[in-house]
Structure 1
Amino acid sequence: MTWPCNSHLDCLTMEKFGLLSLLLLMLNASADELIPGLVKDLIYVEKNLSWYFARKYCNNLYGDLFSMSDENDLKNLSGSAKQLSWIGLYSWYPLWNWIDDTRANYFNWYEPGDCATINRNGFWYEMSCDKRSDLVCYRFPESLVVFIGGWPWTNCKRYCQDNYDGFPIIRNLNDNTDISASIQDFAWIGLTKVSEGPLKDTWQWVNGESLTYSNWYKPFFCAVMDWRGFWYDRVCFEEHQFVCFRKINSTEFMLVNENKIWSESQTHCKLYNMTLVMVKTQEEINALMGYIHGIYGSFVDDLYFWIGLYNDPWHWVNSNSKIRNWHSMQPDHKDFRNNPMEGFPSCVASMDGEWFDGPCTEPLPFFCLATVRSMILVSEPKSWEEALEHCRGTYVDLASLVSDEEQQVAQRKIKHVKNDYVWIGLRFLAGSWFWVYGDSLEYENWADGGQPQCPVPYRCGALNVTNGNWEARPCEERLDFLCFQK
């Protein structure tokens, strides 16, 4: 909005008077150069984008998708959106951790599977070679023949070699998609473990090629142990007995003959000032086995015990935080309509602060994380110049808004103010608007799309509480105001 002057002389007179007033005010200000503190801020973007495009949007405008480093970040997220909205957590290669937050580097997995199958969703599974499964044979040029019936891996290999051009080799995602689309359930692929030599226990294709592409099925798992001390990965929502332990002067075990899911088992152990058992060496496994055998004897078939080992395929963008706030029974590797999601990467959306995993391609609104200067709302109505004195005496200065991030921060700060306007550090003098803190006026958010020119007597800048627009107001008006904090 523009307020016309009666004459050019009126404008000059007002400018000189206002400039003198402001210079006197600046001379009385503290000589110390104070710098506002920096804070992380949550930016909610109500655009429906896939996780990947949401991250690109945040990278271009703010910083990155919202990731958490402490409990305060989790509190900021809680209640911020009533609909599913992306955050910066995604599923990647799983790493096994003990519940004391140490990385597992000793394992005792029971792995009888030396051959590989593929399922109709494209995931690969280790399987004992003498089990029966369907097979896919390769026929030149570039066609597949599928046989349903169920033969061991060796028989299938021989059949494909004798009658066709052998097992197909999967070198990339296109190969994987073509083969998985042609089968009904599971089928052998030409991948097996090397049994001897320097490459022993590594995977290799039947034609001698090394493994350059893979798609092993690795969802969220926790570990159980059998009576022999071997470990197995199990879905964490299965129910098993469990062993609690603690180490003070000696190791103390406690077997709990109740079937619980993994997280409930850990909670139960904490009631006794214990945790789920951790066995990080062969000696510790032997000690635990001695305890189990003392209770059950030497052979108990189909009996498994939770131990304190879990894999976590979830990673924050630009953060190593272990903070998690899953909704009950999440993550379940299903989409947001409860359909199985095998064969697709997973990303995490939040609703009412709780987290849900789902396909990264789903279009949803999202949270960005930006680093902005710290502001505080002072709810003491003052004139613009009194507000300036207060900010410089108690904090740093009247706040400048030099980006969309800071604009959004300011709007959230003032949303409960009862007046229509709040002072910010904008001032009109010598024919132009400027920030009193000295920031550049490249970013603007004026009402009606432009700066008010020669706005007698409206020469001080304020935020409209309703829409966040900048407007020129009489400097003597008494309003709440935003200050930069140290």
Structure 2
Amino acid sequence: MDRTLYFVLLLIALCSVSECVQRQYHYINMLMNWTDAQRYCRENYTDLATVDSMNRMNELNSVNEGGDFLVWTGLQRKWQWSAGYPLLYLNWGPGQPVNWDGCAFMKNGRWEEGKCSDTYAFICYNTNLGLVFVSQLKNWRDAQSYCRQNHIDLVSVRNHSENQQVERVMNDSLISKAWIGLFRESWQWSDQSDSSFRHWNTGEPSNSGGDENCAATKQTNQGKWNDVPCYIPLPFVCHEDKLIVIRENLTWSEALRYCRQNHVDLVSVHSEEIQCRVMNVVKRASTVAVWLGLHNYCIMNMWLWVNGEMVCYHNWAPGNGTTENCNLEKRKGAVQSGGDQRWISLPETHKLNFICTN
């Protein structure tokens, strides 16, 4: 048999024996509030536990030694700005927020939480016009839609100076209350995963008492979840991903060397499951694309992973993944950090973030 044909057949056979990248859970028998537990997990593992399927839930429950006690997971409800800015500045009024599942308005220069269905005037932000006061009475969602359709978004208040600007607009408009762009988002995972998997106990989340904004699991109830106040000290579960984004800008060859010296290797994506994990971690990158362990093997006119596997599963963007430019320049594979997060072919001299396997 021709040696080239034999090599190709061998690579195809290897497609069926790829090893999956797994997420490991670690039970931590220390009592901490949710924020301190998050910090501990990020310092020692990857993050507080994310659960994206019933199989993962069973894995977490198998390491959970809490028995009949509640144990923190990485699920929490958070306040955030409609425009996507991080919440770094706070200016709540006395006794606020009241911990409804609510939205924020400004009154007397301070923030208060109201029900999102309430109707108030509101303030939009426009790149050219600055702050735009709208006297129409709308609920928060309709106010957000109006601002996005006619301007940029509901106003974000990121510092004391911006707070004073909003207050001045309200005083000039002789209005006592106005919606701003702050709202309590639905449940989110600590690692920013977009997993929609939920495993709530019957009647949960209940938000009993108005301040149950973090999720905990109980081993003796099939791992079902309760919402509880985030300040309660509980044991917790961390997860350790086998993928890590390195936020250094290196060429493909430099990235490969870095991963092999400091971790295991550049990541090989040989299943949809691993692609999902890549899509989760690549959000942390600082470059528009991130190197994968994917290279163009010109002699065989094919793409291969650095671990020697043939590309059986693929997620190429249109127009990428061909070998027609093989003789023009050495090209390697990367994944887009935004958009559809598809694979693209780039010259290996480009300097990008990259993903190592742990």
| Fold match (TM-score > 0.5) | no
Of structures 1 and 2, the larger Rg is shown by 1
TM-score by length of 1: 0.30
